[in-house]
Structure 1
Amino acid sequence: MLNPLVSTNWLAGYLKEPDVVVVDASWYMPAAGRSGHAEYLKSHLPGAVFFGIDEIADKTTTLPHMLPTPEEFAHAVGALGIAETDTIVVYDEAGVFSAPRVWWEFSAMGARNVRVLDGGAPKWRAEGRPTQAGEVRRPAKVFHPNFRLGLVADFFAVLNLTRSKARTIVDARPADRFKGEAPEPRPGLKSGHIPGSLNMPVGNLTVDGKMRTANELKAVFEQAGVDVTKPIVTSCGSGITASTLALALRIAGAGDVAVYDGSWTEWGSRDDAPVEK
């Protein structure tokens, strides 16, 4: 199984290869008052293009940053100079936070070799490595999408899982939100969790902005009752940290993991969605 992570040392050695594309996927919760793109323009890894998680998204729904159609995705990333055959290295300015979301999106759309920079930009900068400012424009390419349906779960698939138990549902939100003891940051959502789901707060998966080792992750999942040998669906608030959970599960050896794209923003807003506390 392809290791979904690369180190800063690896990237430094391959940075100038023509088929290696570096992607800044920095994104922040609306309440943070930060703009990933504005910060990208001030400073980013050499040659990196910016992937706007809220911009390259389905504009026909009120749910945040849902996957666009394969054709829309292909058009957007092709304009960034990315083909499905490139080696795509995604990073963010938080360490490992929003980059896994874009790793998952590229994977779902058929990219053959997409990785996440372990430790992200903070580790890169701490090591005194070079950065640059301004927009990077690569020559446009053609991205041929090959949508991998098995990596994506929608509302009705997850609703069915609450009855069939055919997949384990794992929720990346903090424990107090999962238990329904704390309100959701997005207004108008119910509190609690999808019936039968397990909780794995995303903060348990990283240390100092880097992913835990495969053995550490296996132990963390085992302690939470998650069997990585069984099919899994991940969820969170809006599909961002569910992707980090999917990345961690891959590293831990899971072979069948889908992300519930709408996550709690969709589930917690629907009257037909059962909720446990």
Structure 2
Amino acid sequence: MNGIPLIVTTDWLAARLDDPNLRIIDATTFLGPPLHEAYMDVSSGWEAYEKKHIMGAVFADLYGDFSETESELSFTHPIREKFIKNIRELGVGEGTYAVVYDQGITDDATVAVSYWASRLAWQLRYEGFDQVAVLDGGLIKWLEEGRSTTSHSNSYPQGKFAGVRNTELFVTKEDVKEALVDENMIIVDSLPQESYNGDPKSTERSGHIPGSVNIFFGLLSNFETKELYPDEKLRQTFEKAGVLDPNKKVIVYCGFAVAATWIALLLKKCGQNNVAVYDGSMEEWTSDLSLPLEI
């Protein structure tokens, strides 16, 4: 099967809805009522999926099925066996290709991103499945264009997943510590600028990982159209931050490694193939009092 784009349009997806090899995945997750005491609380998008979703879509529970629920962190990639078992049940495997979308953030959001979708897409690539794309604009754009949805649940035949893990896409706290003194590494903080700047009067640990550059995940798409900005504009943003150098490795982090996958995806789209996500992100980093922060 020929490779598919990293990000696809609603037109692209609509033209392929009848393809038996297509797997559409709704990865909707919401920030909501506490599920446990953690850095950030999340809730499943299952009820939203039941109300409406794109024809043929199955639901991926990023919190329950595609995170390590025994971890002290809000989100962390699960053991490989758990991931493969659950992704196979969604029909993903050899001979298929997947388009992942989500239903957006909140009604009062001022950014248009699909970082829940990009999180699952990154996990798939990490576990060795590259035939995956993210839907530009997600369900919000799909609905704004008057395209049809359904409330009927769907299922696909069991997938035959046989990918080989790509360890270059994943970094740990120890890897980030080493990157602090490695001139060939660039660390990117994808949180809002006010978070990056920190609060010097705060009694809690705030700021950013020393030496990291700030590229806010919400500034790379048009909130009015729900579409990504053209590649030329994206490249200008990335070049200004110095993160497109092919001789450098880029490590991206955020609060708990969800929005970071959005930046990682767009960096890859713009030609930076040496990019990894720090899965523990600020939740893990700030909890370790021995690790430095800059304000």
1:39 aligns with 2:39: no
Which residue of 2 is the match for residue 218 of structure 1?
Answer: 235
Deviations 1:87-131 (A, max 9, x none): 110011115231111110111111131001111111111111110
Give the Cα separation in 2 of the matches to 1:178 and 1:35.
28
Instruction: Tell me the alpha carbon deviations over residues 151-174 of structure 1, each in whole angstroms, 9 at most, x when there is no partner.
Output: 001110011101223310001100
Q: How does 1:244-259 map to 2 (within 5 A)?
A: 244-259=262-277
Counterpart of 1:247, as a letter, is: L
The 8 Å contact of residues 94 and 159 in structure 2, kept in 1 or not, is answered as: no
Map of 2:59 onto structure 1: 50
Q: Quick check: 1:26 aligned with 2:28?
A: yes
Aligned-residue offset at 1:34 = 6.3
User: CA shift at 1:225, angstroms?
Assistant: 3.6
* Structure 1 residues 74-89: aligned runs within 5 Å: 74-89=84-99
Q: Which moved more, 1:160-169 or 1:6-15?
A: 160-169
| Aligned mates of 2:138, 2:87 — CA distance in 1 | 21
Q: Secondary structure at the match of 1:14?
A: coil
RMSD over aligned Cα atoms: 2.1
68, 77, 81: which is aligned to 2:78? Answer: 68
2:220 alignment partner AA: L
In 1, Cα distance between equivalents of 2:53 and 2:90 = 15
Structure 1 stretch 259-268 or stretch 28-37: which is displaced more? 28-37
Amino acid corresponding to residue 76 of structure 2 in structure 1 = M
Whether 2:207 is the aligned partner of 1:192: answer yes
Normalising by structure 2, report the TM-score. Answer: 0.87
SS at match of 1:156: helix
Please say if 1:152 is aligned against 2:170: yes
Match in the other structure for 2:143:
125
SS at match of 1:268: helix
8 Å Cα contact 1:177/1:183 also seen in 2: no
What CA distance in whole angstroms lies between the structure 2 residues aligned with 1:72 and 1:193?
32
- What is the match of residue 286 of structure 2? 268
Q: TM-score, normalised by structure 1?
A: 0.92
> Quick one: distance in 1 between partners of 2:14 and 2:268?
24
Q: Percent of aligned pairs with the same residue?
A: 33
Alpha-carbon distance between aligned partners in 2 of 1:131 and 1:189, rounded to the nearest angstrom: 44
Superposed displacement of residue 189, structure 1:
6.1
Partner of 1:243: 261
1:40-72 CA-partner distances (Å, limit 9, x unpaired): 010000010111111121133111221112211
Aligned residue number for residue 101 of structure 2: 91
Q: How far does residue 146 in structure 1 lie from its aligned partner after superposition?
A: 1.3
Q: Give ranges in structure 2 of 5+ residues lacking alignment.
A: 34-40, 105-112
Residue of structure 2 in register with 1:139 after alignment: 157
The corresponding residue for 1:4 is 6
Deviation at 1:253, TM superposition (A): 1.2
Deviation of 1:201 after TM superposition, in Å, equals 0.5
User: Are 2:42 and 2:63, in contact at CA under 8 Å, matched by a contact in 1?
Assistant: no
Q: How far is 1:35 from its partner?
A: 4.2
Counterpart position of 2:125: 107
Task: Summarize the Cα distance change of 1:114–1:33 in structure 2 as closer, same or farther, 3 Å threshold.
Answer: closer
- Measured in 2, the distance between the counterparts of 1:267 and 1:33 equals 19
Quote the Cα distance in structure 2 between the aligned partners of 1:189 and 1:269. Answer: 10
Question: Whole-Å Cα distance in 2 between the matches of residues 183 and 110 of structure 1?
Answer: 44
Distance 1:246 1:44 in 2: 26
Residue by residue, what CA displacement relative to the aligned partner does 1:137-187 show, whole Å, maximum 9, x if unpaired? Answer: 222223223111000011100111012233100011001111113999xxx
Q: Which deviates the most, 138-147 or 159-168?
A: 138-147
Cα distance in structure 1, aligned partners of 2:150 and 2:50: 9
State whether residues 22 and 49 of structure 1, in contact with CA within 8 Å, keep that contact through their aligned partners in structure 2: yes
Question: Which 5+ residue runs of structure 1 have no aligned equivalent?
Answer: none
Count of paired positions: 274
